[in-house]
């Protein structure tokens, strides 16, 4: 388990306190130092059994290093799992533990599992070279139109908003009172369309992609299947995983992909982007748009 930035401080504290602990507490602490990944996925009874000590020994050990109890002690280790700092077997054990936590534990575990799966499956199928090529197309274009309707409208607008802190050529469509095809009326080979739709595919997005192809625009398509109709005409196609136990499609992997794509755009951009972003936020501070803490 890579516990850097998560629980290294706790482990160092535990190692320093080791000589001061009782013999039984030393057994518990030694087990933690040698098996830190078990902390995040095991109950106090399970880890005590594995260390061959009584559960109260772990409680006393946790208090010795500044925690209220074992549950408080293992929070940073559980956070390491939540952020993906462990491999699949340990994550599965954590999810099983969550499932036991109450009436909604099963739902919580299912939702978390799908979020993790969606991110992993999405990026497992995407290479850095694909993102770099798409980012270069965006940076070298005249205008970038970001199209999403329904639930994906907010995803498109969020991406456009983030990009606008340093670039002016991004436009979220459809604009209020307009339609996607109207918004693309004067676009041509100098422009890029980023289109987002998942099953059931929205006809206005599919139609807009066809129009964009006829107008020789560069098309970046984001959808949930290689068979998606918008991927057929795309210059850069990205398949995302959007599974969820609920009735709505998940946007987690789409947002993560768009944020990653934007980071590649900034990496491909000229040095002036940094100055633009700095100027943008300085102006906001000057206008009082950010809360300034009392000094």
pLDDT in tens, 268-286: 876 676 667 677 667 777 7
Q: Is the pLDDT of residue 91 over 90?
A: no
Return the percentage of the chain with pLDDT > 90, whole number.
44
Q: Which H or E element spans position 237? A: strand 236-239
Burial of 283 (0-12, 13-18, 19+ CB in 10 A): exposed
- Whether residue 250 contacts residue 130, with contact meaning beta carbons closer than 8 Å, is answered with no
Mean pLDDT, residues 99-109 taken together: 63
Contact partners, residue 99, CB within 8 Å, separation at least 6:
105, 106, 108, 109
Q: Which H or E element spans position 93? A: helix 88-99
- Whether residue 12 contacts residue 36, with contact meaning beta carbons closer than 8 Å, is answered with no
Q: Please tell me the predicted confidence (pLDDT) of residue 88.
A: 45
Q: How confident is the model at residue 36 (pLDDT cuts 50, 70, 90)?
A: confident
Three-state SS string over 149-192 comes to CCHHHHHHHHHHHHHCCCCCCEEEECCCCCCHHHHCCCCCCCCE
Fold annotation for 124-286: Rossmann fold (3.40.50)
Per residue in 210-241, pLDDT tens?
999 999 999 999 999 888 999 988 999 999 99
Round to whole Å and give the CA distance between 232 and 238. 11
Q: Please tell me the predicted confidence (pLDDT) of residue 195.
A: 98
* Annotated domain spans of the chain: 8-99, 124-286
Task: Determine the angle formed by the axes of helices 23-34 and 8-17, rounding to 10 degrees.
Answer: 150
Tokens representing 121 are: 């499956």
Q: Is the pLDDT of residue 4 over 50?
A: no
Q: How confident is the model at residue 41 (pLDDT cuts 50, 70, 90)?
A: confident
Classify 8-99 by CATH class. Answer: mainly alpha
Task: Determine the angle formed by the axes of helices 23-34 and 55-64, rounding to 10 degrees.
Answer: 80
Round the average pLDDT of the chain to a whole number and report it. Answer: 84
Per residue in 156-214, pLDDT tens?
999 999 998 878 899 999 999 999 999 999 999 999 999 999 988 999 999 999 999 99
Q: Please tell me the predicted confidence (pLDDT) of residue 182.
A: 96
């Amino acid at each position: 388990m890579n516990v850097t930035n998560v629980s290294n401080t706790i482990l160092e504290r535990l190692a320093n306190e080791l000589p001061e602990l009782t013999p039984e507490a030393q057994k518990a602490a030694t087990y933690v130092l040698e098996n830190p990944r078990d902390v995040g996925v095991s109950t106090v009874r399970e880890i005590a059994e594995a260390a061959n000590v009584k559960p109260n020994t772990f409680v006393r050990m946790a208090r010795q290093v500044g925690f209220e109890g074992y549950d408080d002690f293992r929070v940073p280790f559980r956070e390491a799992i939540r952020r993906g700092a462990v491999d699949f077997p340990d994550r599965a054990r954590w999810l099983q533990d969550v499932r036991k936590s109450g009436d909604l534990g099963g739902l919580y575990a299912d939702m978390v599992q799908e979020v993790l799966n969606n991110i992993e499956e999405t990026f497992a199928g995407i290479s850095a070279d694909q993102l770099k090529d798409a980012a270069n197309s965006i940076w070298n274009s005249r205008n970038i139109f970001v199209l999403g309707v329904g639930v994906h409208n907010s995803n498109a607008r969020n991406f456009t908003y983030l990009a606008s802190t340093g670039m002016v050529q991004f436009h979220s469509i459809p604009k209020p009172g307009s339609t996607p095809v109207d918004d693309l009326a004067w676009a041509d080979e100098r422009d890029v369309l980023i289109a987002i739709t998942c099953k059931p595919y929205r006809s206005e997005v599919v139609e807009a992609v066809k129009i964009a192809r006829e107008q020789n625009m560069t098309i970046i398509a984001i959808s949930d299947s290689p068979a998606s109709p918008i991927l057929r005409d795309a210059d850069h196609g990205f398949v995302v995983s959007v599974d969820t136990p609920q009735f709505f499609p998940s946007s987690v992997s789409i947002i993560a992909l768009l944020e990653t794509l934007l980071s590649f755009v900034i990496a491909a951009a000229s040095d002036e982007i940094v100055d633009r972003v700095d100027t943008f936020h300085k102006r906001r501070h000057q206008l009082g748009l950010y809360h300034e803490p009392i000094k």
